[in-house]
Amino acid sequence: QQQVKQSPQSLIVQKGGISIINCAYENTAFDYFPWYQQFPGKGPALLIAIRPDVSEKKEGRFTISFNKSAKQFSLHIMDSQPGDSATYFCAATLNSDKLIFGTGTRLQVFP
């Protein structure tokens, strides 16, 4: 009940394209869903986050879509750039407690 499943494992996108990463969770009590971006040799950094009472959140080129009934949420990266090449993790938490992370998606954006 604590799992967060993430797909795809890896993603190759051309510059300017849309990158889409999907996650599904089981515990309906989760109340906060952040996405983290991690570059090699660095710790994860918060990218964008959403609460389950909102269906979509947009910050610049990054958008989270949230489907509470399906227990799914996704990250869309519009106009993907080579600098977006990194590993992306979805996560979920309850009462601002420990983060439960997905397995990660390695994104490569080619010029």
Partner 1 sequence: DTGVSQDPRHKITKRGQNVTFRCDPISEHNRLYWYRQTLGQGPEFLTYFQNEAQLEKSRLLSDRFSAERPKGSFSTLEIQRTEQGDSAMYLCASSRAGERRDIQYFGAGTRLSVL
Q: Residue 87: which H helix or E strand, with range?
A: strand 86-92
Q: Which one, 25 or 44, has the nearer CB to partner 1?
A: 44
Q: Which one, 71 or 106, has the nearer CB to partner 1?
A: 106
The token duo for 63 is 């958008």
Q: Is 70 left (phi over 0), alpha (psi -120 to 50) or beta?
A: alpha
- Give the C-alpha separation, 94 to 111, whole Å: 39
Q: Which one, 26 or 79, has the nearer CB to partner 1?
A: 26
- Give the C-alpha separation, 74 to 63, whole Å: 8
Query: Min. distance of Cβ 106 from partner 1 in angstroms?
Result: 9
Query: Min. distance of Cβ 89 from partner 1 in angstroms?
Result: 5
Binding-site ranges for partner 1 (CB under 8 A): 6, 32, 34, 36, 41-46, 49, 89, 91, 93, 96-104
